[in-house]
């Protein structure tokens, strides 16, 4: 369901949804801006920054509405965590009515930005562009099953240069409690918070940016969570049936050796070398879900192996895990690799199906950016950046709920028309046609 077919024409349900969120904002005078902002995010329109939304929501009172919305988002002292928790409580029952939660999806998303003053802007990898560029990056945690998904946590990644720059922090309003953390560390904080709030557990899914982090995988295991995480082709693995050598025998002098070791004849392989060493019989064609042009299918192999990263510092080998490899027919090399702590008895088809559920986060980001305007906020502050994102997720949560009420085969939902702008309305900074004609 896209924003062009939003169910806002059904006012009672939208009003009831907003009412369920409003009491976490702290003041009754924030309810009207909440409803207005979510309405603006859901209305059709190419740009979902504050001024264009104000013009669509209240064409006769653009300036006053703009000021009210700006104050609500950029200055309002309300909790993003509380609002997202209330969105989750409102939307999760609808998601679970279509099946239990299967996955917790960790990911990050980037927003290209010019200049250097917006909070967290730095030259770093931006997935939206596919290269290094000036951008902001946020880490998210989403709940998902095969039918629906919803982001439940969202936090800006603050580059180390920003985190250690007091002047920048002060100008952007970065809270004192925020310090430099890697993206996997931020994700672990979000996961621990979800566990503390007793969110229904699921298989943790993430791309190689998280999967190659040994500390991240270890922490998930210590938290009692299973995972299927992307890894790189260079990830070091012990092939099936092999392991590090035991510690050397004690010579009788000094401390007895306790660390496992390698030898020229017994050492790990890269994930790609492991894949190329597998026999043809190890590869199977697997279909995992319906796509726009039929069932999605590819060629996979899965073997039990041990991660080998820096295990010479350990006293015992790491446990065996699934190494899942995708090598589509006709490709010169494998295209994707995963490490999974799913049980040894898991079938290849189930391993592929559960691991590939990560596609849902791509759907979330597509709709949040293209339909809701997640990346359209033009302010520079930490508070405004997060408030805008929380409100985007709140608006998206309403769409997720309505999609559950109206399956694809159900009745069409009436489109709400954007109010007509008053004659002579000009956005800030637009040239005055009268002055141009006089010139």
What is the 3-state secondary structure of the chain? CCHHHCHHHCHHHHHHHHHHHHCCCCCHHHHHHHHHHHHHHHCCCCCCCHHHHHHHHCCCCHHHHHHHHHHHHHHCCCCHHHHHHHHHHHHHHHHHCCCCCCEEEEEEEEEECCCCCCCCCEEEEECCCCEEEEEEEEEEEEEECCCCEEEEEEEECCCHHHHCCHHHHHHHCCCCCCCCCCHHHHHHHHHHHHHHCCCCCCEEEECHHHHCCHHHHHHHHHCCCCEEEEECCCCEEECCCCCCECCCCCCCCCCCCCCCECECCECCEEHHHHHHHCCHHHCEEEEEEEECCEEEEEEEEEEEEEECCCHHHCCCCCCCEEEEEECCCCCCCCCEEEEECCCCCCCHHHHHHHHHHHHHHHHHHHHHHHHHCCCCCCCCCHHHHHHHHHHHHHHHHHHHHHHHHCCCCCCCCCCCCCCCCCCCCCCCCCCCHHHHHHC
Burial 167-186 (b: 16+ CB within 10 A, else e): ebbeebebeeeeeebbbbeb
Residue 238 burial (10 A CB sphere; 0-12, 13-18, 19+): buried
> Residue 429 pLDDT more than 50?
no
Q: Where are the domains of the chain?
A: 3-211+361-405, 229-240+267-340
Q: Tell whether pTM > 0.75.
A: yes
Grade residue 437 by pLDDT with cuts at 50, 70 and 90.
very low
pLDDT > 70? residue 379: yes
pLDDT in tens, 153-192: 999 999 999 999 999 999 999 999 999 999 999 999 999 9
Query: In angstroms, what CA-CA distances link 47 with 43, 53, 91, 176, 376?
Result: 10, 8, 26, 32, 7
- Only one residue has tokens 């999967």, namely 211
Mean pLDDT to the nearest integer, 217-221? 97
- pLDDT for 407: 56
Q: What is the pLDDT of residues 259-310, one digit of tens each?
A: 777 787 788 999 999 999 999 999 999 999 988 888 999 999 999 999 998 8
User: Which has the closest alpha carbon to 221: 95, 307, 137, 140?
Assistant: 307
Confidence class for position 9, pLDDT limits 50, 70, 90: very low
Q: Is residue 62 within 8 Å of 425, Cβ to Cβ?
A: yes
Instruction: Give pLDDT tens digits for 38-73.
Output: 999 999 888 999 999 999 888 889 999 999 999 999
Q: Phi and psi dihedrals of 182, rounded to 5? A: -70, 165
Q: Is 309 left (phi over 0), alpha (psi -120 to 50) or beta?
A: beta
Buried b (16+ CB within 10 A) or exposed e, 257-286: eeebeeeeeeebbbbbebbeebeeeebeeb
Residue 438 has pLDDT above 90, yes or no: no
Taking only the tens place, the pLDDT of each residue in 394-407 is: 999 999 998 887 65
Q: How many Cα atoms occupy the beta-carbon half-sphere of 41 within 13 Å?
A: 28
């Amino acid at each position: 369901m896209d924003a062009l077919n939003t169910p806002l024409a059904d006012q009672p349900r939208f009003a009831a949804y907003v009412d369920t969120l409003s009491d976490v904002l702290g003041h009754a005078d924030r309810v009207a801006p909440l409803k207005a902002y979510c309405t603006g995010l859901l209305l059709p329109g190419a740009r979902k920054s504050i001024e264009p939304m104000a013009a669509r929501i209240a064409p006769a009172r653009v300036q006053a509405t703009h000021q009210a919305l700006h104050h609500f988002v950029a200055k309002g002292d309300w909790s993003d965590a509380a609002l997202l928790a209330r969105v989750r409580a409102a939307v999760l029952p609808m998601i679970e009515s279509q099946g239990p939660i299967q996955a917790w999806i960790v990911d990050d998303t980037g927003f290209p930005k010019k200049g250097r003053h917006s909070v967290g802007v730095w030259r770093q990898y931006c997935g939206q562009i596919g290269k290094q560029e000036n951008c902001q990056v946020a880490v998210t945690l989403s709940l998902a099953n095969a039918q629906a998904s919803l982001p439940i946590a969202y936090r800006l990644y603050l580059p180390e240069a920003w985190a250690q720059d007091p002047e920048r922090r002060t100008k952007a309003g970065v809270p004192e409690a925020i310090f430099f953390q890697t993206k996997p560390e931020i994700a672990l904080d979000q996961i621990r918070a979800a566990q503390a709030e007793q969110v229904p557990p699921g298989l943790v899914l993430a791309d190689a940016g998280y999967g190659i982090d040994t500390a991240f995988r270890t922490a998930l295991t210590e938290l009692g969570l299973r995972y299927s995480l992307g890894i790189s082709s260079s990830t070091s693995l012990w092939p099936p049936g092999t392991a590090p050598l035991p510690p050397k025998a004690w010579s009788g002098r000094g401390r007895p050796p306790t660390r496992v070791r390698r030898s020229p004849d017994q050492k790990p392989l890269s994930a790609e070398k492991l894949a190329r060493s597998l026999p043809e019989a190890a590869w199977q064609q697997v279909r995992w879900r319906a796509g726009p042009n039929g069932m999605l299918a590819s060629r996979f192999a899965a073997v039990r192996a041990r991660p080998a990263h820096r295990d010479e510092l350990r006293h015992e080998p790491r446990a065996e895990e699934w190494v899942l490899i995708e090598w589509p027919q006709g490709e010169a090399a494998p295209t994707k690799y995963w490490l999974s702590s799913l049980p040894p008895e898991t079938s290849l088809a189930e391993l592929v199906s559960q691991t590939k559920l990560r596609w849902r986060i791509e759907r979330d980001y597509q709709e949040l950016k293209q339909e809701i305007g997640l990346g359209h906020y033009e302010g520079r502050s930490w508070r405004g950046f997060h408030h805008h994102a929380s409100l985007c997720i709140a608006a998206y949560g309403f769409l997720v709920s309505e999609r559950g009420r109206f399956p694809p085969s159900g009745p069409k939902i009436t489109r709400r028309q954007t109010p007509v702008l008053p004659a002579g309305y000009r956005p800030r900074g637009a040239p005055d046609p009268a002055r141009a004609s006089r010139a």
